[in-house]
Amino acid sequence: MRKNILITGASSGLGEGMAREFAAKGCNLALCARRMEPMETLKAELEAAYPNIKVFIRELDVCNYPQVFDVFKAFKEDMGSLDRVIVNAGMGKGASLGKGYFEANRRTAETNFVGALAQCEAAMEIFRAQNSGHLVTMSSMSAVRGMPRAINIYAATKAGLRTLTEGIRADLLGTPIKASCILPGFILTAINKDLKKAPLRVDLETGCRALVKAIEREPAEAKVPAWPWVPVGLAMKFLPLRIVAKMT
């Protein structure tokens, strides 16, 4: 069992939900995000509910790249080792290109891809030194095809993260270190709560339970929840773009 787990973007949404699931399994947690207050509340709640676990929290902006490395190293020192790092922090702001929203699109691209790259680098430095560990990246079903409007940049960054993870996995062949890319479908979070169309969306608790179950299998890649997103993902690859675009 991988006991010591670091989760970024842990102040809300999928990060918070996964922290709750892993805590219930008896895992120690290293939680980080930009907002400390929600994590302080979460830490107190989890340690009260599960007195045998330890929960460490730190402030982290994943676009502050030196801070990413410092925070990951500090968590490693706190816990002695890191068994699994879940690269989860991200954002979904943006708009169709050419409409004057470059800064929002740039911020999303930087946070979701370059910020994720920094997290992967920091995690892999620790894992290579340990010669053990499990890197998990949170991509999205939107990575399967290009998406229109506000999801355009978000989908592009998640596709990049998916490819990055596969490259890391190729680099790790023959080593004890594992890398998994998780593609969540529509799980209710702040990022997608305003979508007019979110077919087959599940609540946060159900979605996070499925995510943790998939992560613990340590697959190369997993679409979550498997039903219906495995067949939906297959359909998305081959459907005409005009049909895929209507899914959002």
Catalytic residues: 154
DSSP string computed for 77-125: HHHS--SEEEE---------TTSS-HHHHHHHHIIIIIHHHHHHHHHHH
Q: How many CB atoms lie within 10 A of CB 125?
A: 14
- The 10 Å CB-count burial string (b at 16+, else e) for 31-61 is bbbeeeeebeebbeebeeebeebebbbbebe
> Looking at the chain, which runs of residues are DSSP E strands?
4-8, 28-33, 55-59, 84-87, 134-138, 178-184, 221-224
Distance between CA atoms of residues 248 and 30, nearest Å? 34
Tokens standing for residue 46: 């989890």
- Angle (CA) 178 180 210, round 5°: 125
In the DSSP assignment, the letter for residue 141 is G
